[in-house]
């Protein structure tokens, strides 16, 4: 996405309103097809409104004219995530069709690899786009962990909550906000979370195998976060030691004559 010096707030509203409209349309189709209950409807509508509000504010603050092709793909993925969220909320009252749930989730996961490629090929990568993509990923993992936890137990919620716990901890521990080096292992673990949780949610495997799949996802995530936190802690200690060493080498100021 390119910066636009003639930023028009109406264009921002048009971009985000399209996403909200598609979300409501998809909810209407789901409601007609499966007879979705009030919990699903309310959750889906809340997701649509929240997405519209957050994106409008983010675009207004970044002064970007539009999403661009890559972020439109992410917006479509967010629409699917909203539908999955509605199905999960509805599952507390009645079980959604497994095929529909798995299909929507699978398409959302596949599109996760598309928006990045589109951004690189079209030269439209932006911090806003990267953040948008990351938040959609994180929320989908949270929703899937809620769904799987209904069958395996509340411990599965740790998978979806871990990223949000890290963000909360970073508010109290500023050294957690330092940039991390690029890591193929981190990206691989992040990508596997959605796949493993989808397998666990599909009900295709016996209970023991499903438990093992979810446990593997959690173990990989704990390893990934633990490795990054350890790196951040060591880096912060090194930087503090370097600052202290520089301060020791600095000459003390001479007293000012009265």
Give the distance from CA 131 to its chain's centroid: 8
Q: Above pLDDT 90, what percent of the chain?
A: 50
Look at 18 and 165; give whichever has higher pLDDT: 165
- The pLDDT value recorded for residue 16 is 75
Q: Residue 244, SS3?
A: helix
Domain ranges of the chain: 9-240
Architecture of the domain delimited by 9-240: Up-down Bundle (1.20)
pLDDT of 4 reads 43
Are 115 and 57 in contact by the 8 Å Cβ rule? The answer is no
For residue 160 the two structure tokens come to 């979806």
Q: pLDDT tens across 85-114, in order?
A: 999 999 988 887 889 999 999 999 998 888
* Percent of the chain surpassing pLDDT 70: 85
Q: Is the Cβ–Cβ distance between 147 and 91 less than 8 Å? A: yes
Q: What is the pLDDT of residue 152?
A: 96
């Amino acid at each position: 996405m390119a910066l636009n010096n003639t930023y028009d707030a109406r264009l921002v509203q048009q971009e985000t309103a399209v996403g909200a409209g598609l979300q409501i349309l998809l909810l209407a189709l789901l409601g007609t097809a499966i007879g979705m209950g009030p919990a699903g409807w309310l959750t889906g509508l809340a997701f649509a409104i929240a997405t519209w509000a957050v994106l409008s504010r983010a675009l207004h603050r970044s002064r970007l004219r539009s999403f661009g092709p890559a972020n439109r793909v992410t917006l479509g993925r967010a629409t699917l995530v909203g539908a999955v969220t509605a199905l999960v909320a509805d599952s507390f009252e009645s079980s959604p069709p497994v095929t529909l749930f798995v299909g929507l989730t699978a398409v959302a996961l596949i599109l996760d690899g598309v928006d990045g490629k589109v951004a690189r090929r079209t030269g439209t990568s932006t911090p806003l786009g990267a953040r948008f993509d990351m938040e959609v990923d994180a929320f989908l993992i949270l929703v899937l962990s809620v769904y799987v936890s209904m069958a395996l137990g509340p411990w599965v919620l740790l998978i979806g909550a871990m990223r949000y716990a890290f963000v909360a901890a970073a508010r109290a521990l500023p050294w957690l906000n330092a940039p991390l080096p690029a890591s193929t292992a981190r990206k691989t673990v992040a990508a596997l979370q959605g796949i493993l949780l989808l397998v666990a949610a599909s009900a295709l495997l016996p209970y023991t195998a499903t438990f093992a799949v979810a446990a593997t996802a959690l173990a990989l995530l704990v390893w990934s976060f633990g490795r990054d936190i350890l790196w951040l802690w060591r880096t912060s200690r090194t930087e503090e030691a370097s600052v202290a060493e520089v301060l020791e080498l600095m000459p003390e100021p001479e007293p000012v004559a009265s």
